[in-house]
């Protein structure tokens, strides 16, 4: 493994720039060498004036690229990840990893078959409050889970959708669940385990567009616990996304960078409370790149040391599977078992 991994970014738009800035802080581990989209000025402003701008299909073919970061619109993620893997490159894919279960599973299988690393961006797992709760759950310190909820009640105005038309199309992954809710779906699965059954409804309540802007779902976890999931970009002024767990020992509610509730007898709240993770409730640019730095550091150090990154392609596929099950349940009006989706 070279001293610094060569990185290629597919799509130097808003999220691609976030990745570029995160990589700049990890310059001893990696170097952004090529990118598509955006401009050389944007690359320079993100800290990479020497990076070369090339066509999307050329990024993974360059001999100086070890890993491709897929930061393009959501409907391109799976195909571009597969192309990079077929070219022998490791991949990091922005959420969601794919829009369909079959496509997500093909990414998983391609990485496995080639012995390459594939990871999906799930940076919120690195927030210290969530990491502490996951450890308590894994150790059994919170007792049996009874009810879990996650709510992403944000606001996006018409300018947001007009600036990137794919965000307004359901088929392109622009709905509030697939686009805004993916990280909280990941947190819910990480903390609570797989979901056995889903019922759901969705609607477009505040915007003139094809994609849904509000989705609600009920969940039955494999453990027997029940859950609620809701996402929206139709709820001004926008609120911090939350995850709440009600267990045999009490109740916990986490926001973004803060502990909102901690009522667990005998267990103190995390000392890391107030980590300062920013909320994208009303402005996606406000989220920043702190979480991306933490995840990229884990990915790069894992590759240098021959380990598997904490977050895998299988994790990304599980999130896609649950989100697709929610959409299927809303469209069919019936209960859906995620494991049965192909």
Q: Distance between CA 293 and CA 90 in Å, rounded?
A: 18
Residue 279's pLDDT is 72
Look at residue 104 in the predicted model and tell me its pLDDT: 98
Cα 71 from Cα 93, distance rounded (Å): 7
Tens digits of residue pLDDT in 46-80: 999 999 999 999 999 999 999 999 999 999 999 99
Domains of the chain in sequence order: 5-122+297-310 (3.40.50.720), 124-290+319-340 (3.30.360.10)
**pLDDT for the residue numbered 2:** 77
pLDDT tens sequence across 301-321: 999 999 999 999 999 999 999
Q: Which residue has the tokens 């797992």?
A: 125
Q: Going along the chain, which residue ranges are E strands?
A: 5-10, 30-36, 52-53, 67-70, 90-93, 118-120, 145-153, 195-203, 214-221, 226-232, 242-247, 250-254, 259-264
In this prediction the pTM is: 0.96
CA distances 160 to 6, 98, 247, 316, Å, are 32, 22, 38, 25
Q: Which pLDDT does position 101 carry in this prediction?
A: 98
| pLDDT at 98 (0 to 100) | 98
Biggest CA pair distance of the chain: 57
> How many angstroms separate the Cα of 38 from the Cα of each of 10, 59, 97, 103?
10, 14, 21, 26
Other beta carbons less than 10 A from residue 112's beta carbon: 14
Residue 125 parent element (H or E): none
Q: What local confidence, expressed as pLDDT, does residue 246 receive?
A: 98
Number of Cβ within a 10 Å radius of residue 342: 6
Residue pair 219/195 in contact by the 8 Å Cβ criterion = yes
Can you list the residues of the chain whose pLDDT is less than 50? none
E strand or H helix that includes residue 213: none
CA–chain centroid gap for 2, Å, is 28
182-192 helix and 128-139 helix, angle to the nearest 10 degrees: 30
């Amino acid at each position: 493994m070279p001293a610094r991994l060569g990185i290629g970014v597919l799509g130097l738009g808003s999220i691609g720039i976030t990745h570029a800035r995160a990589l700049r802080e990890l310059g001893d581990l990696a170097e952004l060498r090529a990118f598509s989209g955006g401009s050389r000025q944007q690359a320079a402003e993100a800290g990479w004036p020497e990076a070369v701008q090339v066509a999307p299909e050329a990024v993974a073919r360059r001999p100086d690229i070890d890993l491709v970061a897929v930061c393009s619109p959501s409907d391109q993620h799976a195909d571009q990840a597969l192309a990079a893997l077929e070219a022998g490159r490791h991949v990091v894919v922005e959420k969601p990893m794919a829009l369909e279960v079959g496509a997500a599973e093909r990414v998983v299988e391609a990485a496995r078959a080639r012995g390459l690393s594939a990871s999906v961006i799930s940076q919120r797992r690195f927030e210290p409050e969530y990491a502490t709760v996951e450890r308590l759950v894994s150790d059994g310190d919170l007792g049996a889970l009874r009810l879990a909820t996650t709510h992403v009640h944000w606001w996006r105005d018409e300018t947001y959708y007009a600036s990137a038309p794919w965000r307004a199309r359901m088929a392109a992954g622009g709905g509030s669940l697939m686009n805004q809710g993916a990280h909280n779906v990941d947190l819910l699965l990480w903390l609570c385990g797989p979901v056995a059954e889903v019922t759901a409804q969705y609607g477009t309540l505040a915007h003139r567009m094809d994609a849904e802007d509000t989705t609600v779902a009920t969940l039955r976890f494999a453990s027997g616990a029940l859950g609620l999931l809701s996402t929206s970009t139709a709820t001004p002024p926008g609120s911090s996304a939350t995850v709440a767990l009600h267990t045999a020992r009490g109740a916990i509610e986490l926001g973004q960078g803060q502990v909102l509730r901690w009522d667990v007898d005998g267990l103190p709240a995390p000392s890391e409370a107030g980590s300062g993770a920013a909320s994208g409730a009303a402005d996606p640019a406000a989220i920043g790149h702190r979480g991306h730095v933490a995840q990229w550091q884990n990915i790069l150090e894992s590759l240098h040391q021959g380990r598997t990154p904490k977050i895998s392609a299988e994790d990304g596929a599980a999130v896609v599977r649950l989100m697709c099950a929610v959409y299927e349940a809303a469209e069919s009006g019936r209960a859906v078992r995620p494991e049965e989706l192909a």
